[in-house]
Amino acid sequence: MSTDSIQCIKQYIEQRYQGGLIGISDLAEYCEMLEGKIYKALVELQKQEDIKIIKRYFCPEGHPISLDDLPYCSDCDYPYSEDFITTIIYIKPLVVKNSLP
Amino acid sequence: MTKDKFLADIDLFIKKTEAHCCHKNAISCNNVFENADLYAIEKDLLDKILAGNFSNSKEQGDSLENLVKLLFGKIQLVHSIEVTNKDITLGQIDIQLVPIDDALFEVWGLHTQRPEGIIGECKNYSKKKEPIGRPEIEKICWRTCKGGCLSFFIAYGYTEDAINEISYFNSNKKSLCYKHQGALIVPLTLSMLELVIQNKINFCYFIKWAISTSRMMNIANYL
């Protein structure tokens, strides 16, 4: 596991976190890495109980779908192909060492 | 396989998928695939495989497995890929692929029918580049069903009997292996890998397309 991605995520949380959820794209942009590499680090941080990964699923029209209902969207009343279901990744920090005054 | 149709259909699939998938904070093949060297190493290995320049049959057999390992290794949601070439509980398996977690299956459109594991079978032993027949496919059907696996089968080509067998398995897996709904055989050819590498197609999207078209066996049109 690459430690630079883990350190970068920890740094983001320490320096920028102000509550709520953090999106994976914000972390990717901050660390200048692809979301895939960030996700790999997030899985490791979740194992260490530093963060919790939260997934949300959306239909092609942007409606949220629960995991149990996939790939059926109740708003659209349509069972979409799973090829077109979007997975959105957020994290919730569980350990915050805030460096802000 | 018609090369132009294959390339056009993959291109259309990627465009359709990207139209829906690539929102902020989404994970997709678009942002989990790293290909900084534009398949430079893979192209060298592929050229060697296609030329058939091997000093012995082991080197010949290993070369395709190594190519497949390199290609899957570019997907960042893959934790590890092991070229096993040894007998495990599912029989002799060439490649075992371990994802980081279920995110890889979600990126490939396998939200509800998640496999228990991922295996790969590479057939590059024949100097004559003969197509794979039904007996080889029957073995992979058994392994796929027993392990609930997503099974990639990579060969020069397939006989009509072999294609029919894969088609029957993928179409009837609900009754054939009712415990493992994630079981699926994805047949690939060296020609497909050649086109993916030559045209620098995102390998993650290619696999997603191959899984999608294998479900209803439309992939038979490209074998």
User: Tens digits of per-residue pLDDT, A10-45?
Assistant: 999 999 999 999 999 999 999 999 999 999 999 999
Residues with Cβ within 8 Å of A7's Cβ and at least 6 positions away in sequence, in order, are: none
Neighbour-count burial of B146, counting CB atoms closer than 10 A to its CB (0-12 exposed, 13-18 middle, 19+ buried): middle
Strands B149-155 and B117-122: parallel
pLDDT band at B129 (very low <50, low <70, confident <90, very high): confident
A43 in reach of chain B (CB within 8 A): yes
- B34: tokens are 């790293």
A39 in reach of chain B (CB within 8 A): yes
**Of B15, B31, B78, B203, which to mutate for an interface test with A (greatest number of A Cβ within 10 Å)?**
B31
CA distance, residue B8 to nearest chain A CA (Å): 18
CB contact under 8 A, A34 and B111: no
pTM value is: 0.93
A88 in reach of chain B (CB within 8 A): yes
User: Tens digits of per-residue pLDDT, A71-98?
Assistant: 999 999 999 999 999 999 999 999 776 6
| Complex ipTM > 0.95 | no
Question: Measuring CA to CA, which residue among A19, A16, B29 is closest to residue A27?
Answer: A16
CB atoms within 10 A of CB B65: 20
pLDDT band at A2 (very low <50, low <70, confident <90, very high): low
Q: What is the pLDDT of residue B128?
A: 67
CA distance, residue A39 to nearest chain B CA (Å): 8
Residues in B lying within 8 Å of A, measured between beta carbons: 16-17, 19-21, 23-28, 31-34, 75-77, 100-101, 103, 106-107, 109-113, 208, 212
Q: Number of CB pairs < 8 Å for A and B?
A: 86
Per DSSP, A58 falls in state E
CA distance, residue B111 to nearest chain A CA (Å): 7
Residue A58 identity (one-letter amino acid) = F
pLDDT band at B107 (very low <50, low <70, confident <90, very high): very high
Give the domain ranges of chain A: 3-93
Give the domain ranges of chain B: 3-17+27-222
- C-alpha triplet A3, B203, A83: angle, nearest 5°: 100
CATH class of B3-17+27-222: alpha beta
A35 in reach of chain B (CB within 8 A): yes
A81 to chain B: which residues are within 8 Å by CB?
A: 109, 212
Residue A73, CB-side half-sphere exposure with 13 Å CA sphere: 17
Task: Confirm or reject CATH 3.30.70 for domain A3-93, answering yes or no.
Answer: no
Residue B48, CB-side half-sphere exposure with 13 Å CA sphere: 16
Per DSSP, B201 falls in state -
Q: Which of A24, A37, A71 has the CB atom closest to B76's CB atom? A: A37
Q: Which residue has tokens 């460096």?
A: A99
Could you tell me the maximum CA-CA distance found in chain B, to the nearest angstrom?
50
User: Tens digits of per-residue pLDDT, B11-21?
Assistant: 999 999 998 77
Q: Which residue has tokens 């045209």?
A: B199
The verdict on whether omega for the bond into residue A71 sits within 30 degrees of 0, i.e. cis, is: yes
